[in-house]
Every structure is written in structure tokens, then in C-alpha cells.
A and B are shown apart, each in its own frame.
Chain A
Amino acid sequence: MAYSDKVIDHYENPRNVGSFEKGDDSVGTGMVGAPACGDVMKLQIKVAKDGTIEDARFKTYGCGSAIASSSLVTEWVKGKTLDEAIGIKNTQIAAELALPPVKIHCSILAEDAIKAAVADYKQKHANELPGAPEKQVAHG
């Protein structure tokens, strides 16, 4: 199967590979896995005082599409608020990378990894968030 140029670019030059200190309060860690292909994805966000994501890291074991999907979303989430980040849809990832239908689950993995990282961060800060529970924000 032919990979798109964008997949190859992210695969050969992955952005933001690595880890943050898991114990760091400003870090949220999301881990997801796809049984169908055995891919594992760990995605971390570092959240600034103003509530926006200032940095992100990932570590993915999987095919080129899975690595490219996670590399791409670590770029996309930077500068976003938590609610904006969880608004990222797998269809946007798949479209950006021109993923074929059989690789759509790689983009689902990346979307779910972001959601898991945000959920982990929110859980860490559950007691500090004003006016909890969170209100639902429409995806835009």
C-alpha cells in the first residue's frame, strides 16, 4: 500500500517524540491500544497556567499511519485549550494524512489518545477546576 507524502514525512521526521515526567502536575498522559493491529500509543500534553496546551509528546509502536497520526496531533494540540483539543476528530486526521480506509483506525487511535490525555489531566486537577462538573463544549 502506498503511503501519502504527509504520512511518510511524519514517519521519517516524527515531531515531538518522547516523554514528559509522568508525575509532573502540568502533564496529562493518555495511553490507548488497538487490538486489531497491536499498536500502542502514549500521548502526553503539558498544560500551561492559562489552561492551553503548551507542548506535547508521543511514543507510538505501530505502523507508519499510526506514527504519523500521533505525530500530527501533537502538532495540532499545541496552543489549543483542553476543550478544543478533545474536539479534534479522527476524520480530520485521516483527511490531512490522506489515510486509506484500512488505516482509519490509526486516526481513531490518535483521537482517543488525545481524549485520554486530557481526561488524565482533568482528573489530576479535578479539585481545582472552578465550577466542576465540566460543561460540554460544542466541537468546532
Chain B
Amino acid sequence: MQLGGTGGASPFFIHMTLNIAQDHFSLFGLPSAYVLDAVALERSYREIQARIHPDRFVNSGAAEKRASMQWTTRVNEAYRTLKDPVLRAKYLLERAGLDVGFETNTAMPPAFLMRQLELRESLEDAKDAASLDALSTQLARDRHRLETLLAAKIDAEKDLPGAVGLLRELQFLSRFGEEVGGAYQALDE
């Protein structure tokens, strides 16, 4: 099906194959799952973007321009959500009516918190790139382990409530990752 062909793009064409109310996964023609085909997401995102990009509607009417803007916002949001391992899991769990409580629930397993304290102490003591590299390696390993467990819970076991705790830990680690990134920057200054 041709969409927004060279001879004047129309929002009608956009709506023929895309439905703005679609969920993020079906928007990109992807299965609704935690494990993601990143290449397929990228390809589909580029394809859709090329069809809806506001640059294509420079000479179109106001309705077309508006539709293009709406679509661009919608597609970028969906892409950003699916691409990120934390946001993707959060999307899947919240869609199932689960509350991940990032802001409100402060109860985390004591062993996990002990490790977080230790990691932050190590970050405080890390004064050179080599020690930051060692921390980054540990962090990457922890994150990878959690992402593997999340995939097993969500996709294989279909135990979404059981995935909430794992996601909370992954979110925690992603914040710590930002702090490590900040420490690298501080080294350069």
C-alpha cells in the first residue's frame, strides 16, 4: 500500500495502515514481548518516520500538517519506550494494570540495597578511569542479569506480577548508571 506518495501526502493515507490508538508493539509490527528485535524496531521506525515526517507535508494543508505532527510525536514516544529496557518492561507491566511504584514504594530487598550502598561507596572512592571501568563492568553484568530474568518472567513464565521487583531493581541500576556516567565526566573536567 502506498502511503503519502510523492504527489501530495494525505493523512488519509497515513490512517489507512496506521492506527494512532494501536499499542506500541503493533504500531511497529512487533510481537508484544520483553525480548525485542532491535533491528526490526529500528527498521520499522525509520520506515514509518519517513512516511509521516513533517518535512513531507510542507506543502500540504493544515489538517495534514497536524496529523503529521501528531503521528511524529506518537511514533517517537513509542520508539523511545520500546528501545529502553526499563521503559519497555514498565509499559508491559502497567498495561497489565500493575503498579511499579518507582516513586512511592521504597521497600527493596535488603541484600539488593546493601549491594547498592557498596556500589555507591566504590563510586565515591573511584578516582580514576580504571576504577570507574571496573564499576561499569559490574553494573553492566548486574543489568544484563536482571534483563535476562525479566525476559524469563514476562515472556516465558507470563508472570507479570513476579517481574515487578526485577524491574524496580533494573530501574535502580539505570539511575546508578547515570551517576557513573557523571563521574566519568567529572574526571574529564
**Which A residues lie at the B interface, using CB under 8 A?**
31-38, 40, 42, 59, 61, 105, 108-109, 112-113, 116
With A31-B114, A61-B117 as contacts: A36 and B107 at CB distance below 8 Å:
no
Q: Is the CB of B172 within 8 A of A33?
A: yes
Partner of B113, one of A31, A37, A108: A31
Q: Is there a chain A Cβ closer than 8 Å to B104's Cβ?
A: yes
**B46 close to A (CB within 8 Å):** no
Residue from A34, A59, A109 having most chain B Cβ neighbours under 10 A: A34
Contacts A35-B105, A38-B178, A108-B104 supplied; 12 other A-B pairs, CB < 8 Å: A31-B108, A33-B106, A35-B100, A35-B108, A35-B169, A35-B171, A35-B175, A36-B102, A38-B171, A40-B113, A61-B117, A112-B106
Q: Are A40 and B116 in contact (CB under 8 A)?
A: yes
**Residues in B whose Cβ lies below 8 Å from that of A59:** 117
Interface Cβ pair total, 8 Å cutoff: 61
Q: Is B120 an interface residue (CB 8 A)?
A: yes
Q: Can you list 19 A-B contacts with CB-CB less than 8 angstroms, sorted by A residue number?
A: A31-B114, A34-B102, A35-B100, A35-B102, A35-B175, A36-B103, A36-B171, A38-B175, A38-B176, A38-B179, A40-B113, A40-B116, A40-B117, A42-B113, A105-B103, A112-B106, A112-B107, A113-B106, A116-B107
Q: Which of B102, B110, B171, B175 contacts A31 (CB 8 A)?
A: B110
